[in-house]
């Protein structure tokens, strides 16, 4: 999931299906994006020399949701509401020590929705 978020962050810094399914995926992506970004801001993650803050999260939110829909839509469509809630809770409970200075794993519930592993190392401000 973080790959979609960081792609959206880099875009901002550097510069069908049935509607009920689409709405559900958009809502889920919004919840997951908000939880993920809140955790990154809490842990003081640095991306391309920029500190992730709640203001940055708001600035990239729409782009991050669109990218989530594109990249993770199929996995989210196949997941249940309980899977989505568990993913959000997993981000809320994630410890900064399990995020900073490494290539972190998404919470287990998120891996069910998006099995592609992260490849980016996360740097946090002191």
DSSP 113: H
For the chain, what is the mean pLDDT?
A: 86
- pLDDT above 80 for 15: no
- The band of 19, judged by pLDDT with boundaries at 50, 70 and 90, is very low
**What is the DSSP annotation of 44-107?**
TEEETTEE--HHHHHHHHHHHHHHHHHHHHHHHHHS-HHHHHHHHHHHHH--GGGTTTB-PPPP
28 exposure class (CB count in 10 Å sphere: 0-12, 13-18, 19+): buried
Q: Give the residue-averaged pLDDT of 6-26.
A: 58
pLDDT band for position 7 (50/70/90)?
Answer: low
Whether residue 126 is predicted with pLDDT greater than 50 in this model: the reply is yes
Q: Tell me the sheet residues that pair with 47.
A: 50
Q: What is the pLDDT of residue 106?
A: 87
| 13-36: average pLDDT | 76
pTM (whole model) above 0.85: no
**What is the pLDDT confidence band of residue 48, given thresholds at 50, 70 and 90?**
confident
Q: What is the pLDDT of residues 64-109, one digit of tens each?
A: 999 999 999 999 999 999 999 999 999 999 999 999 999 998 899 9
């Amino acid at each position: 999931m973080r790959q979609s978020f960081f792609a959206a962050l880099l875009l901002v810094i550097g510069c069908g299906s049935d509607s009920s399914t689409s709405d559900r995926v958009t809502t889920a992506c919004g919840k997951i994006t908000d939880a993920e970004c809140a955790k990154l801001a809490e842990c003081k993650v640095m991306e391309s020399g920029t500190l992730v803050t709640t203001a940055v999260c708001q600035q990239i939110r729409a782009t991050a949701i669109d990218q989530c829909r594109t990249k993770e839509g199929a996995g989210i469509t196949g997941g249940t509401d309980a899977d989505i809630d568990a993913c959000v809770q997993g981000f809320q409970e994630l410890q900064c020590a399990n995020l900073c200075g490494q290539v972190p794993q998404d919470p287990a519930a998120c891996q069910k929705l998006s099995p592609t592993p992260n490849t980016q190392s996360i740097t946090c401000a002191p």
